[in-house]
Structure 1
Amino acid sequence: MPPPIGGKIGIPWPAMRVLHTSDWHVGRTFHGRDLLAEQETVLSGLADLVDTERVDALVVSGDLYDRAVPSAEAVDTCARVLRRIADAGAQIVITPGNHDSAPRLGAFAAFARAGGLHLRTAIANLHEPVLLEDAHGPVAFYGIPYLEPEVARHALGDPELRGHAAVLGEAMRRIKTDLDTRKTRSVVLAHAFVIGGETSDSERTIAVGGVPHVPGSLFDGIDYAALGHLHGPQTLAEHLRYSGSPMAYSFSEARHRKSVWLVELDKHGLAGVERRELPVPRVLGTLRGHLADLLTDPAHESEIDKFLSIELTDQVRPIDAMRRLRERFPHALHMDWLPEGGRPRVRRYSETVKGRTDEEVACCFVEDTRNSPPTDTERALLREALAAVAGKERE
Structure 2
Amino acid sequence: MRLLHLSDLHLGKSIYGYSMIEDQRYWINEFLKVCDEQKPDAVMVAGDVYDRATPGAAAITLLDYFIEEISNRQIPLLIIAGNHDSGERLEYAGEILKKHDVYIAGVPQRKITRVTLPDEEGEVNFYLLPYLYPERVASFFDRNDIKSYEEAMINYLSHQDIDTGERNVLIAHQNIIADGVEAERGGSETMSGGIGPIDYSVFDDFDYVALGHIHRARPVGRSQVRYAGTPICYHLDETKQGKKGPLLVEIGPKGEGIKVETIEIKPLHRMRYEKGTKEELHAMFENDNGRDEYVGLVMTDERVDSVTYAYFNDLLQKRGSKLLEFRSEAKSQSGVREGRSREEIQRESLQDLFAELYTKANNDEPPTTEEYEMMKFAADKMSRCEVTKDANPDNSLVDEVIAFARQLGGE
TM-score of the pair, normalised by structure 2: 0.76
Partner amino acid, structure 2, of 1:192 = Q
Structure 1 match to 2:212:
228
SS of the aligned residue for 1:273 comes to strand
Q: Distance in 2 between matches of 1:346 and 1:170?
A: 58
Residue deviations 1:278-335 (CA, integer Å, cap 9, x gap): 2222111123456687567654533443211122456454226544432211211112
Percent identity between the aligned chains?
Answer: 24
Structure 1 match to 2:55:
70
CA drift of 1:100 comes to 0.4
- Quote the RMSD (CA, aligned, Å): 3.4
Structure 2 match to 1:261:
247
- Equivalent residue for 2:149, pick from 164, 179, 189: 164
Q: Distance in 2 between matches of 1:44 and 1:298?
A: 31
**Pairs within 5 Å for 1:169-318:** 169-175=154-160, 178-180=161-163, 183-196=165-178, 197-206=183-192, 211-236=195-220, 237-255=222-240, 256-269=242-255, 270-288=257-275, 294=281, 299-313=286-300, 315=302, 317-318=304-305
Partner amino acid, structure 1, of 2:187 = D
Q: Distance in 2 between matches of 1:391 and 1:203?
A: 47
CA drift of 1:391 comes to 2.9
Residue deviations 1:242-288 (CA, integer Å, cap 9, x gap): 11111110111113210222111223254322221122221111234
Aligned residue pairs, count:
355
Partner amino acid, structure 2, of 1:204 = T
Contact 2:297–2:326 (Cα < 8 Å) also in 1: yes
Partner amino acid, structure 2, of 1:218 = V
Q: Distance in 2 between matches of 1:126 and 1:320?
A: 61
**Which residues of structure 1 form unaligned runs of 5+?**
1-15, 372-380
1:139/1:340 Cα in 2 relative to 1: closer, same or farther (>3 Å)?
Answer: same
SS of the aligned residue for 2:155 comes to helix
1:55/1:297 Cα in 2 relative to 1: closer, same or farther (>3 Å)?
Answer: closer
Contact 1:186–1:222 (Cα < 8 Å) also in 2: yes
Partner amino acid, structure 2, of 1:391 = D
Contact 2:86–2:106 (Cα < 8 Å) also in 1: no
CA drift of 1:99 comes to 0.4
**Pairs within 5 Å for 1:143-158:** 143-155=128-140, 157-158=142-143
Structure 2 match to 1:3:
none
Q: Distance in 2 between matches of 1:230 and 1:81?
A: 22
Contact 1:309–1:332 (Cα < 8 Å) also in 2: yes
Contact 1:43–1:246 (Cα < 8 Å) also in 2: no
Partner amino acid, structure 2, of 1:230 = I
Residue deviations 1:123-170 (CA, integer Å, cap 9, x gap): 124523111112232211101111133344324543431121122222
TM-score of the pair, normalised by structure 1: 0.79
Contact 2:186–2:215 (Cα < 8 Å) also in 1: yes
SS of the aligned residue for 2:25 comes to helix
Partner amino acid, structure 1, of 2:212 = G
Q: Which moved more, 1:300-309 or 1:253-262?
A: 300-309
Which of these two proteins has the greater Rg computed from alpha carbons? 1
**Pairs within 5 Å for 1:322-341:** 322-330=309-317, 331-339=322-330, 341=332
CA drift of 1:221 comes to 2.1
Structure 2 match to 1:106:
91
| Pair 1:55-2:35 in alignment | no
**Pairs within 5 Å for 1:34-49:** 34-49=19-34
1:61/1:387 Cα in 2 relative to 1: closer, same or farther (>3 Å)?
Answer: closer
Q: Which moved more, 1:25-34 or 1:84-93?
A: 84-93
| Pair 1:86-2:77 in alignment | no
Q: Distance in 2 between matches of 1:217 and 1:230?
A: 18
1:172/1:340 Cα in 2 relative to 1: closer, same or farther (>3 Å)?
Answer: same
Q: Distance in 2 between matches of 1:135 and 1:204?
A: 42
Partner amino acid, structure 2, of 1:325 = F
Q: Which moved more, 1:132-141 or 1:270-279?
A: 270-279
1:338/1:195 Cα in 2 relative to 1: closer, same or farther (>3 Å)?
Answer: same
Q: Which moved more, 1:129-138 or 1:309-318?
A: 309-318
Q: Distance in 1 between matches of 2:52 and 2:29?
A: 20
Q: Distance in 2 between matches of 1:41 and 1:185?
A: 34
| Pair 1:389-2:388 in alignment | yes
Contact 1:311–1:335 (Cα < 8 Å) also in 2: yes
Q: Distance in 2 between matches of 1:190 and 1:112?
A: 20
Q: Distance in 2 between matches of 1:42 and 1:298?
A: 27
CA drift of 1:67 comes to 0.8
Contact 1:265–1:272 (Cα < 8 Å) also in 2: yes
1:317/1:184 Cα in 2 relative to 1: closer, same or farther (>3 Å)?
Answer: closer
Q: Distance in 1 between matches of 2:99 and 2:311?
A: 54
CA drift of 1:206 comes to 4.2
1:157/1:113 Cα in 2 relative to 1: closer, same or farther (>3 Å)?
Answer: farther
Structure 2 match to 1:139:
124
SS of the aligned residue for 1:254 comes to helix
Contact 1:98–1:206 (Cα < 8 Å) also in 2: no
Contact 1:294–1:300 (Cα < 8 Å) also in 2: no
**Which residues of structure 2 form unaligned runs of 5+?**
358-379, 393-411
1:361/1:82 Cα in 2 relative to 1: closer, same or farther (>3 Å)?
Answer: same
Q: Distance in 1 between matches of 2:331 and 2:278?
A: 13
Structure 2 match to 1:8:
none
Q: Distance in 1 between matches of 2:301 and 2:244?
A: 34
Contact 1:291–1:312 (Cα < 8 Å) also in 2: yes
| Pair 1:25-2:24 in alignment | no
